[in-house]
């Protein structure tokens, strides 16, 4: 069995990456023999959907598959045939990062059918989404984050299965706040959240990984 964590952050060792790594640990705690891999999207030169519509051609040999031949194609093929995927992205300007949006275009669009059939995907897999952000819980609702991300998750559910999700708020953004202009943040408060809440968020991510492993076993067996 093979599971992927997709890192939509350009940072490889901070909040989003740590949560994804912890979720993969959760998978391994249930399925020790499973293969797990984290993919850092910002390491891969790729684009979003090209609107060639080869994946929609009637009787086309690429129907339901992304035809665009780039460095990302073999990775995409492997991810779409895996046993579970965990997506992670920081929030940039009230949305997912650009690279995560590009990933989702390539990941989802080939499987969406312009017909009464909801999806042409025959590989059901469990999914989870992890969102990291500067704002607190109340602000994330007020600013429409949940409404927006629910739309992404609704499309993922239509194609694969209903995703679990984790919102991680008021993240510690720098290792040394004194080096950056960041007057609007209370560094001591952020550090306190980092020391008290973030360990709980890591545990939630671990449990999400466990749930993904358990769901994959039910789908297969």
Q: What is the per-residue pLDDT for 137?
A: 94
Q: What is the CA radius of gyration of the chain?
A: 18
- Decide if pLDDT at 182 tops 60: yes
Residues 114-137 have pLDDT tens digits of: 888 777 877 899 999 999 999 999
Give SS3 for 144. Answer: coil
Q: What is the per-residue pLDDT for 220?
A: 63
Rounded to an integer, the average pLDDT of 90-113 is 96
Do 48 and 106 form a contact (C-beta atoms < 8 A)? yes
Better pLDDT: 77 or 117: 77
Residues 17-68 have pLDDT tens digits of: 999 999 999 999 999 999 999 999 999 999 999 999 999 999 888 898 999 9
Look at the block and give the residue holding tokens 């129907």: 63
Largest CA distance in the chain: 61
Residues 1-12 have pLDDT tens digits of: 999 999 999 999
Characterize the bridge pairing of strands 85-90 and 2-7: parallel
CATH number of 2-220: 3.40.50.360
- Decide if pLDDT at 90 tops 70: yes
**The 127-132 sheet, strands edge to edge:** 35-40, 2-7, 85-90, 127-132, 164-168
């Amino acid at each position: 069995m093979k599971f992927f964590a997709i890192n939509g952050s350009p940072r490889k060792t901070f909040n989003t990456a740590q949560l994804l790594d912890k979720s993969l640990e959760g998978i391994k705690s249930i399925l020790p023999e499973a293969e797990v891999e984290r993919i850092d999207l910002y390491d891969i030169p790729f684009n979003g959907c090209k609107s060639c519509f080869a994946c929609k051609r009637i009787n086309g040999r690429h129907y339901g598959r992304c035809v665009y031949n780039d460095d990302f194609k073999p990775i995409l093929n492997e991810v779409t045939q895996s046993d579970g995927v965990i997506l992670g992205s920081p929030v940039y300007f009230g949305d997912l990062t650009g690279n995560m949006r590009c990933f989702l275009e390539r990941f989802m669009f080939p499987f969406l059918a312009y017909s009464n059939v909801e999806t042409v995907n025959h590989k059901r897999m469990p999914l989870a989404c992890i969102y990291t952000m500067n704002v607190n819980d109340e602000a994330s609702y007020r600013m429409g984050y949940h409404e927006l991300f629910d739309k992404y998750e609704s499309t993922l559910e239509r194609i694969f299965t209903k995703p679990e999700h984790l919102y991680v708020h008021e993240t510690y953004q720098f290792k040394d706040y004194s080096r950056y202009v960041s007057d609007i943040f209370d560094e001591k408060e952020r550090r306190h959240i980092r020391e008290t809440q973030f360990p709980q968020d890591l545990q939630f991510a671990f449990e999400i990984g466990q749930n993904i492993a358990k769901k994959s076993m039910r789908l297969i067996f």
